[in-house]
Chains A and B, each alone.
Chain A
Amino acid sequence: MKTKKKGFFYHLYKYRVFLLMLLPGVAYTLLFHYYPMTGIVLAFKKYTYAGGIWGSKWNGVDNFKFFFKSGQALRVIRNTVLYNMLFIVVGTVFQIAVAVFLTEIKSRRFRKIAQSCMFLPHFISWVIVGVMAFNIFSSDFGIINRLITSLGGKKIPFYTKPSAWPGILLFFNIWKGIGYGSVMYLAAIMGVDTEVYESAAIDGANVFQRIFFVTIPAIMPTVIILFLLSIGGIFRGNFDMFYNLVGSNGLLYGYTDVIDTLAFRALMTSNDFGMSSAIGFMQSVMCFITVVSANKLVSLYDRDYTLF
């Protein structure tokens, strides 16, 4: 015990410069993240204004019940996880592909213009994307259906056909995130020492081999970190996207309802703080378990690639 204590103060002194550098970030995190975190107790309380966070009465797990009572809990959890997995895997592949190809392109002007264009969707809010999607897929004046009818085909009723939606949602998700996401990989590629490439070229590897055996391994730390960060949100649905693209079209819910949209519908009128905290807390716990396991797996491979 005694030696351990001594060890602590010894380390405190030894790490003083590091700790000084950490100070602003730690102070900020304590004040703006850990201090309000007491609000988590609301998930187990019947909130009242007069009682506030501490004075309100405990009500056990009552706040969690509505989610399971809706009878759709499993469906929305499944949808949330499957969509997120799809988005993570396909999104990562596309973003890395764009980053790799952009670095291989020699024309600087082309690279700059292409990259600028890819960033534009980031600025189009989901509300507008929703309207656009309606313009593309609606049965009357949707671009696709107009094209089909002009070619003499039969209209596809996208908005009454749930199975079309995973594809549509995937497309918009990739589209909106491609510029933003690829920048991170681009920066990682740019951070790789150029000498490594030159030596690979001298070794006689062709470009494809160079990409797969030099570039990709070199950006692996970034890929893994970003992957772990995404895993950390695997039980959270992107509410804005699902809500603006699908809206309140109950016909599509089987394929499109996620935890966040369900909670929104359930709590829209009552606006119950306890129940919304409960849903948030439940998602946090599930994400926590997933990410700790994933982090453990990664640490078996290489401890430096882990989140913590």
Chain B
Amino acid sequence: MKKSIRKLAALILALALGMALLTGCTGDGKQDESKALETTAKADSGEKEDADTKADEGQSEEQPAGSDLPEETITMYLLGNKGDNFDEAYGKINEILKEKINTTVNVQWIGWGEGNKYSLLFSSGEDFEMIFTASQWGNYENTVALGGFAELTEEMLQKYAPDVWEQWPAEAWQQAKINGKIYMIPANYVEVNQDVVAIRGDLMKKYGYDNIDSYDKLLSFYEDCYKDGMYGNSVGAASVYWLMFEHLGMYAMGGTPCQGQLVLYNCKDPKDLSYTYVLEWQPFIDYCHKMKELADAGCWPSDVLNTTSERQDGLVSGRGATMVWNAGSCQIYANQANAEHPDWEINLYNIMPECKYRATRYVNGGVGFNAASKKLDRALMVYNEFATNPEIQNLAQLGIEGVNYINVGDGTYKSTGNDFGGGSFWGWRNMNIMLKTYYENPTPVDLKVEELDKFFKENLYETHLLDSFTFNTEPVATQVAAVDAVQSTYFDPLINGLVEDVDATIEEFKAALDYAGMQDILAELQKQIDEYKAAN
């Protein structure tokens, strides 16, 4: 066994060496290939053509400089774990980087769910240059507040990451700003992560629904399901809560306590810069009453707050009639359940067709640069390559062509099933050059997903000034911590309809939050919105 492993290692090494020689000799050929890829990307988005041409110029300018640079190693931290063929792919990336900018990238990992390691790296003065970051869930704001990320000035970006600076939309930089300064390079990538509902077709027929295209229809469908002793939604109403305010055009305010679930803003009207505090908002109160009715009727188990099931479990096992999640996740489980039970005829439904949708923010993924690092210039060059060199982008995103994925042409790819994903490879995504998933034998669900995706992208909200706003909790840190501590005591039971007396609980909740300092937070929020308005 051990021998065979050794043999394998030797083989891989030999292969890698061979590859190195090959790429050394046929560097020009590779260049052509990447150019070809770029052209397909251009064809996809005519608008970006200008930017790309400029990018090419930028690259050709930089290349002679590359060979003069001293040798450097850049350490980059990613979240997650190594997938198959990861080292091979990075071997290839390093060959390219070595040739172009005389740099080697060394990747280190922070496992998913090992969040506290993130701040320890900065505390201990560990030597690294780049780290994945994301607004809110990926430590962006708190690392900036603690002085962990280097400020990236326009001059630096223009000088060391010229292609990125050219190609990235102004909005991306706008979103990355904290107090007017940029601390991360966001990925040039947005998607519409709109929640949809996967619903059992057979049950819809049974209860006489041809389509479920509104929030109210979904709720009445839940009630019908219960009459048959079936859960409408086996993980409770938490997932429906977001749909509730989104179908009214409201969205969570970035950076506010409790993942923004308490403070909303109105996406429908770009001029409306006011916030809505849900506890004083009639639709929220109505929602809680409605959920109590549904919970009492038995549309979900009384112990949903402790359930270990995931969103799909009810649907897949046949215990629940629906699942609410983004289209991509619903697609996977709907296909899986349909394959096992063709008679269920699950498909996806958009319950808010009359609405518009909101794209994710650019800062939902990006790369931050360690303020203590002395190799910032080189790290920026590395980022520039990852984000704008299609060859590296594909290697870092999908792995090795022919092993992990197959390029089907037309800017699409097919996975081979050899999993390369496992880490946060999202920090340098670039929509202009990324390959897209190709569906071989689309099921009705796949077709629906494509249709929905297209529909969402065609019906986006106008940009709202508050889309790029992130509340800075620093001045009211004490109050925010206290509010976070109080929140789940009342909030989760309320939105799942599990309290005895809805109105009394809302009053109690409001009083508890006020004691914890909610009014200070709201006052601070108003102040920050005013300042933000004045600055933009």
Contact = CB atoms under 8 A, between A and B. Distances in A.
B522 interface: no
Nearest to A158: B303
Contacts of A217: none
A168 B489 CA distance: 20
B179 interface: no
Contacts, number: 128
A149 B26 CA distance: 74
A66 B146 contact: no
Given A48-B146, A49-B148, A134-B308, A273 B119 contact: yes
Contacts of A62: 478
A248 B123 contact: no
Contacts of B139: 271
A300 interface: no
Task: Name, among B372, B485, B492, the residue most crowded by chain A CB atoms within 10 Å (CB to CB).
Answer: B485
A49 B123 contact: yes
Nearest to B489: A250
B299 to A, nearest CB: 13
A266 B481 contact: yes
Interface stretch (A27-35, A68-76, A96-104): A68-76
B115 interface: yes
Contacts of A65: 478, 482
A253 B485 CA distance: 11
B188 interface: no
A267 B498 contact: no
Interface residues of A, number: 45
Contacts of A52: 123
Contacts of A158: 303
A248 B486 contact: no
A138 to B, nearest CB: 5
Contacts of B308: 130-131, 134
B147 A265 contact: no
Given A131-B308, A251-B493, A273-B119, A66 B302 contact: no
Contacts of B515: 69, 71
Contacts of A137: 303
A105 B511 CA distance: 59
A159 interface: yes
Interface string B299-332: 0011101111000000000000000000000000
A265 B146 contact: no
Interface in A223-270: 246-251, 253, 257, 262-263, 265-270
Contact of A66 (B123, B148, B482): B482
B492 A249 contact: yes
A253 B473 contact: no
B480 interface: yes
B481 A50 contact: no
A250 B493 contact: yes
Contact of A271 (B142, B301, B490, B516): B142
Nearest to B255: A269
Given A47-B146, A263-B485, A265-B487, 20 more contacts: A48-B147, A50-B147, A67-B482, A69-B478, A69-B482, A69-B517, A71-B486, A130-B308, A137-B303, A138-B306, A159-B306, A246-B306, A248-B488, A249-B306, A265-B485, A267-B484, A269-B257, A270-B142, A270-B473, A270-B481
17 contacts: A48-B146, A48-B147, A49-B122, A49-B148, A67-B482, A69-B481, A131-B308, A134-B307, A140-B301, A160-B303, A248-B488, A249-B492, A253-B488, A265-B485, A270-B484, A271-B142, A273-B119
The 7 closest A-B pairs by CB, nearest first: A159-B303, A66-B481, A266-B485, A69-B482, A249-B305, A250-B489, A70-B485
Interface of B: 115-116, 119, 122-123, 139, 142-143, 146-148, 257, 259, 301-303, 305-308, 371-372, 473, 477-482, 484-493, 498-499, 512, 515-517
